[in-house]
């Protein structure tokens, strides 16, 4: 393809209205099939039910590409917007980032927060029709290919005490790998919505297969989990379920263990504000840690652990089936498809709730607790037996390993981890804190070279970067990962501004010169905490100021006086003793790692941001960005 030589103002495109969605649909929805579009419309109706304004939703599958969603909520607003001077419903369907869920004034808990959901549905549909009942009137509007073809008009009247929204849309097949709705997944989603939103009646009508179903649930999650695990031997026989509510959050979960000799069907479902989080996120991380700490406490209290055996998160997690539903205000998701929660404070919130409630349950049902614990202990024994490795094999060819690399003893790259640590002091602590069987430490001296605008030869002239490449066993700018010596490459730097700078430079190195490593999920960023919180028997760590506030609030609710809560702030990794560093940052059962991801759909956006931040020729752009976003920085 020929590239235009001239680059001037005429080269700059401004995409208006819904054009960005049509150009890059993968940035806004899952393009494998249109189920995510269905979910966007259904979730708007579910949000009405969550807010207490609807108790019934009807979903009609007209044909393989046409869906209709009807609710009895308040109905989309049809009055003229005070500043945009058009009916509000038009903004909802035709303008990105326009919605009623950016604040908590209209919805307490909500899944739709980006203001793009239903406008994306409109953009990718051949036709969309909406009817609204409000104030005794029935209104209608229609779009084709995202363009309005029928003005908002009053179609008739309705009873004054009725309201609601009816949206029918036919998707455009050209935007999807498969233009057909996945009916099985859609029915499972609707069933889950009814289970999670008690008292909500979901009617499902499939006009292709002449199937009519009603989903309604008015009890806890235990029965739902049990029905998902038919013919599986579980403990407890009736899954443990618990609901904890607060004005700021709600945590609802059920769990049990598969104790059969052969692994049966498992269930691992998590939701945030009734949005299914297929890839998990911080709430699932907190759930996992809560189970681990509760089980460890139970085993220690009842002297169940053999000498020198320590159970870890994988032992507790392996045969656990669960349903976790969290409701929080202003959840932050990793992407528009909302498959992974990234709200930091949710991890500690769920961890504390699950640890307390599961501990209480285990100690109130000791026989059940011992059955689960014995099963987990056996798993831990098998794990330990399988991880007794011989001394790590040395390289037989290629450059000599860096002298400052403290290697692990495992000769299995699939379980080995390399921590790239800021500073010799922190490197020394990390060496004492690590598990030498599978964790290696490579300390760096100061900030590495900015490699964003330089080639491999220039970058390798830097001793620090050359050490990283040799330690990993692979070459820069090469797609070949066959010689990779570690499955996880973890960046470990201080939580201060210098540490963040070093972390950014390392991320840029991997994204620019080792993109395959990032795409295959080998790069991680460790999250050392800023604070330690002590209050009697409670010893907690907080990642940042927001999480610190959450932990303080939790302890105050426990009845602990504010004066009895002691807070220690770590200025750097060097201030942590090896035990603290192991517990918070290195031990797999209790650490927090963020995986560095590089989606092909978002690659241009990622490279554009890094180029603006790191390119020498982009200083003016960087200054403008800092002037716009500088007030968001946190200062001590």
Q: Which residues are catalytic?
A: 422, 494, 496, 498
Return the DSSP state at 480: -
- Strands 164-171 and 234-245 come out as unpaired
Give the number of other Cβ atoms within 10 Å of residue 593's Cβ.
17
What is the C-alpha to C-alpha distance for residues 301 and 317, in angstroms, rounded to an integer?
A: 20
Measured on CA atoms in the order 134, 140, 146, 150, is the torsion positive or negative?
negative
Return the DSSP state at 111: S
User: Exposed e or buried b for every residue in 122-151, given b needs 16+ CB within 10 A?
Assistant: bbbbbbbbbbbbbeeebbbbbbbebeeeee
Task: Give the 3-state DSSP-derived string for 525-592, with helices as H, strands as E and coil as C.
Answer: EECCCCEEEEECCEEEEECCHHHHHHHHHHHHHCCCCHHHCEEEECCCHHHCCHHHHHHHHHCCCCCC
Return the DSSP state at 154: E
Tokens 């800023």 belong to 530
Beta bridge partners of 131: 140, 166
What separation in angstroms does the CA of 45 have from each of 76, 111, 589, 617?
10, 11, 39, 48
Terminus-to-terminus CA distance in the chain, angstroms?
A: 52
Cis peptide before 236 (omega within 30 of 0): yes
What is the C-alpha to C-alpha distance for residues 437 and 444, in angstroms, rounded to an integer?
A: 22
Element (H, E) at 441: strand 439-444
What is the C-alpha to C-alpha distance for residues 164 and 387, in angstroms, rounded to an integer?
A: 59
Task: Give the 3-state DSSP-derived string for 55-92, with helices as H, strands as E and coil as C.
Answer: CEEEEEEEECCEEEEEECCCCCCCCECCCCCCEHHHHH
Measured on CA atoms in the order 288, 292, 298, 299, is the torsion positive or negative?
positive
Classify 503 as helix, strand or coil.
helix
363 burial level (CB within 10 Å; 0-12, 13-18, 19+): middle
What is the C-alpha to C-alpha distance for residues 410 and 490, in angstroms, rounded to an integer?
A: 17
Please choose, from the candidates 100, 108, 106, the residue with its C-alpha nearest in 3D space to the C-alpha of residue 247.
108
């Amino acid at each position: 393809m020929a590239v235009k030589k001239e680059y001037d103002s005429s080269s700059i495109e401004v995409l208006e209205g819904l054009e960005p969605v049509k150009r890059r649909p993968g940035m806004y929805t899952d393009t494998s099939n249109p189920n995510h579009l269905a979910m966007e419309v259904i979730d708007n109706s579910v949000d009405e039910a969550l807010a207490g304004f609807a108790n019934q939703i009807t979903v009609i599958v007209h044909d393989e590409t046409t869906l209709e969603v009807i609710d009895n909520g308040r109905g989309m607003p049809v009055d003229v917007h005070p500043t945009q001077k058009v009916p509000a419903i038009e903004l909802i369907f035709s303008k990105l980032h326009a919605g009623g869920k950016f604040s908590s004034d209209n919805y307490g808990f909500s899944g739709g927060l980006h203001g793009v959901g239903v406008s994306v549905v409109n953009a990718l549909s051949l036709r969309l029709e909406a009817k609204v009942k409000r104030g005794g009137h029935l209104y209608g509007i229609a779009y084709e290919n995202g363009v309005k073809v029928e003005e908002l008009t009053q179609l008739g009247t309705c009873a004054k005490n009725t309201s609601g929204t009816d949206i029918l849309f036919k998707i455009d097949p050209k935007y999807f790998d498969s233009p057909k709705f996945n009916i099985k997944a859609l029915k499972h989603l609707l069933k889950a919505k009814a289970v999670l939103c008690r008292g909500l009646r979901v009617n499902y009508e499939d006009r292709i297969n002449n199937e009519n179903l009603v989903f309604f649930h008015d009890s806890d999650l235990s029965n739902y989990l049990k029905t998902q695990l038919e013919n599986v031997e579980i403990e407890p026989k009736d899954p443990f379920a618990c609901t904890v509510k607060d004005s700021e959050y709600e945590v609802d979960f059920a769990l049990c263990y598969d104790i059969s000799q052969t692994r049966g069907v498992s269930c691992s479902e998590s939701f945030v504000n009734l949005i299914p989080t297929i890839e998990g996120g911080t709430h699932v991380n907190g759930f996992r840690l809560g189970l681990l700490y509760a089980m460890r406490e139970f085993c220690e209290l009842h002297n169940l652990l053999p000498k020198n055996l320590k159970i870890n998160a994988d032992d507790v997690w392996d045969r656990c089936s669960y349903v976790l539903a969290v409701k929080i205000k202003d959840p932050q998701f990793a992407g528009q498809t909302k498959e992974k929660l990234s709200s930091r404070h949710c991890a500690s919130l769920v961890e504390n709730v699950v640890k307390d409630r599961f501990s209480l349950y285990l100690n109130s049902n000791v026989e059940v607790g011992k059955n689960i614990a014995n099963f987990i202990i056996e798993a831990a024994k098998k794990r330990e037996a399988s991880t007794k490795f011989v001394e790590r094999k040395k390289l037989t060819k290629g450059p000599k390993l860096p002298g400052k690399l403290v290697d692990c003893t495992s000769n299995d790259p699939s379980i080995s981890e390399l921590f790239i640590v800021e500073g010799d002091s922190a490197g020394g602590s990390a060496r004492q804190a690590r598990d030498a069987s599978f964790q290696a430490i490579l300390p760096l001296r100061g900030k590495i070279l900015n490699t964003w605008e330089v080639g491999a030869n220039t970058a390798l002239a830097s001793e620090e970067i050359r050490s990283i490449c040799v330690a990993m066993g692979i070459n820069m700018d090469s797609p070949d990962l066959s010689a990779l010596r570690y499955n996880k490459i973890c960046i470990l730097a201080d939580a201060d501004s210098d540490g963040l700078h070093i972390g950014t430079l390392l991320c840029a190195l991997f994204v620019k010169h080792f993109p395959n490593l990032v795409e295959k999920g080998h790069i991680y960023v460790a999250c050392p905490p800023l604070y330690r919180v002590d209050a009697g028997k409670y010893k907690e760590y907080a990642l940042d100021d927001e999480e610190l506030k959450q932990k303080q609030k939790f302890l105050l609710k426990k009845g602990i006086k504010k004066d009895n809560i002691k807070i220690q702030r770590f200025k750097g990794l060097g201030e942590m003793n090896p035990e603290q560093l192991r517990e918070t940052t290195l031990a797999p059962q209790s650490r927090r790692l963020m995986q560095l991801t590089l989606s092909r759909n978002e690659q241009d956006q990622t490279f554009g941001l890094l180029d603006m931040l790191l390119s020498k020729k982009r200083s003016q752009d960087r200054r403008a960005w800092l002037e716009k976003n500088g007030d968001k920085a946190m200062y001590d």
